[in-house]
Homo-oligomer: A and B are copies of this chain.
Amino acid sequence: MAEPAKSSPLSELRIALPSLPLRLQEVGRFVAANDYDATTRSMRDLAAEAGADPAAFTRLAKAIGYSGWDELRAALTEARRPSQAAPFSARAKGRRHGPNADVTLITDKLEAEAAGLPRISAHAIANAARSLHDAQRIWIAGYRSCRSVAELLNYELRLFRPEQVQIVGASGPDDLDLGAFRPGEAVIVIGFMPYTNASVRVAQAAYRAGATLIAIADSLAAPMAEGADHVLLFEAASSPGFFPSLTGALAIAQSLAAVTFSLGGAAARKRLQDTEARLAAASTYVSEKG
């Protein structure tokens, strides 16, 4: 008899289900319907909730070809494991060559990035913006590719809070600024894997100084997220391609600036108007010929 493809333990279970004793069917259906609990809670616990005997779970596992409940649960656990690899990497690898390969690459990239944006937590950004609003001074740090995000944030915030915002290391070696952090100030650190040592140092200095630390990172486990008061997550690896995507980080930065401006109220608006007037007077912009 041909073994059905062992695609997932859940499907094996489903296939074997009809040929099982009545009680084991019950238990089997319970497992299928609560597979998350099956992987996390204990056998006895499940038995109590399912109103069945603990032994039934062991028997169920053996009935569908496992050595015991432990092995079945291990299989379920592995099946449930969050995508360890980027789901797009396969697509990127298998992408066909030819004149349209590049177009496909771009489209995939843009799609993935567009899908990632709504996953950003608006609440976390709003809370972080409140911290920025209260901060007496705002430091911004980002290295290598994240430098671009840091500079945009610096630019936008300085439009309405010019003398309270600055990039770490803007006026000398970074190390000089690290000692300048004070409680009541906010430090924003942007980074993703692989993390630069410099960014981690900034985060640690901010923490030690008692300043409010805001991390814009790709993971809660990021070094600069340790001890951070706010962590704003984006998906750097979500898009296919060779470099991680900064689109999410940039979107966060822009939202952060927008909300902080919004919180600033009339005062912020006035500062922004002043700045614009000054730029116009210096004829920075092309005059509108319409």
Interface residues of A (CB under 8 A from B): 1-2, 4-5, 10-11, 14-19, 29, 32-33, 36, 39-41, 77, 81-82, 87-88, 90-91, 100-103, 105-107, 109-111, 113-115, 117-120, 122-123, 125-127, 129, 144-145, 147-149, 151-152, 155-156, 159, 194-198, 200, 204, 207-208, 210, 219-221, 223, 225-231, 241-243, 245-247, 250-251, 254-255, 257-259, 261-263, 272, 283-286, 288
Q: Is the CB of A196 within 8 A of B285?
A: yes
Of the residues B15, B117, B159, B227, contact of A110 by C-beta under 8 Å: B117
Of the residues B81, B204, B262, contact of A18 by C-beta under 8 Å: B204
Q: Residues of B contacting A4 with CB < 8 Å? A: 229-230
Q: Is the CB of A286 within 8 A of B194?
A: yes
Copies per complex of this chain? 2
Given A90-B122, A196-B284, A14 and B117 touching (CB < 8 A)? no
> How distant is A30 from chain B, measured CB to nearest CB, in Å?
9
Nearest first, the 4 closest Cβ-Cβ pairs linking A and B are A148-B152, A18-B227, A106-B122, A194-B285
Q: Classify the interface of chain A: helix, strand, loop or mixed.
A: helix
Q: List 14 A-B contacts (CB under 8 A).
A: A15-B227, A15-B228, A18-B227, A102-B262, A103-B122, A103-B126, A105-B255, A106-B125, A109-B251, A110-B255, A145-B156, A148-B152, A196-B286, A242-B262
Residue of B nearest to A227 (CB): B18
Residue of B nearest to A211 (CB): B1
Given A15-B229, A210-B1, A258 and B105 touching (CB < 8 A)? yes
With A and B bound together, what is the CA distance between A122 and B87 in angstroms?
10
Q: Is the CB of A207 within 8 A of B18?
A: yes
